[in-house]
Amino acid sequence: MRLFAISHRKAFTVVEVIVATVIATSLVGIIYNLVFWSFGTNRINEEYTESILEARKILIKIQKELRESRDLIFPSTITMNEITSTQAIVFKDRNGVLKIINYDKKNSQLKLYSIPIDDSGKMVISNGSFEYDLRGNFKHNESKYILGNNIEKVQFTYRKKHPRVLQFRIQIDKYNLVNSLRLLNV
């Protein structure tokens, strides 16, 4: 019985198998890394784009509200040259309505409150905005109550020195976006 007979049939050599294995392993490794990196980059790009677009929408909403401002009340503009608030901003709009943009940290939301003044001088706080429509009717608009969701940080910085600019920065999913507004009637 020949237990250890040497076969003379042609087959892959050990060297060929090793070389092929090394090349295949390297290629698979490279491809795996490429796929992983590519998906990772795509995901980051998509996240970034979504966050920035969302942040931009919110900043435009804030900007729209602040354009109507007649007086900036909080943070105080009287005492210091540079004032920062990470919580809220209070202003009076062109219609004399006191407005509060407040950051609700618990729900990660930016909310708008309005305090209009009626003919008898009474003031009541409401969610959303009060504004005049095209027919001159003064109406409550609750759809403006939540200005933005998933906000991690908010910062309002007011620079009293020229140019008089209110800068607002918001952070969504670790991405920051800054916008600024020249205060017209403050």
Partner 1 sequence: MFRFRKEGNALIIVLVLTVIIVPIGLIMMQRMRTVNHETRKIYNSFVLEHTARSGIELIINKLRFKNFSTGPHEASISESTRYIAYVDTTGIGLVGQKICHVFSRAESDEGNSLLMIATVEVYPRGDKSLVIPHSFYIIEKDLFIETFSARQAILNFKSLQNDAFVQQLRREARVEVKDYQQNLRDLESTVPLELQTYWSTTVIPEIITRKITSRN
Please report, as ranges, the residues that interact with partner 1 according to CB under 8 A.
Answer: 10-13, 16, 19-20, 23-24, 27, 31, 34-35, 38, 41-42, 45-46, 48-49, 52-53, 56, 67-68, 70-71, 73-74, 76, 78, 87-88, 90, 92, 94-96, 98, 100, 102-105, 111, 113, 115, 117-119, 121-125, 132, 134-136, 138, 163, 179, 181-182, 184-185
126 CB neighbour count, 10 Å cutoff: 16
Residue 184, CB half-sphere, CA atoms under 13 Å: how many? 11
In the complex with partner 1, which residue's Cβ is closer, 48 or 84?
A: 48
Cβ-based nearer residue to partner 1, 4 or 12: 12
Minimum distance, C-beta of residue 98 to partner 1, in the bound complex (Å):
7
Which residues are CB-contacts of 138 (< 8 A; sequence separation ≥ 6)? 95, 116, 130, 131, 132
At which residue do the structure tokens 């909310």 appear? 111
Q: Which two tokens stand for residue 66?
A: 């602040």
| Neighbouring C-beta atoms of residue 87, cutoff 10 Å | 14
User: Is the alpha carbon torsion for 74, 85, 94, 116 positive or negative?
Assistant: negative
**Least distance in Å: CB of 72 to partner 1?**
9
88 vs 150 by CB, closer to partner 1: 88
What's the min distance (Å) between Cβ of 104 and partner 1? 7
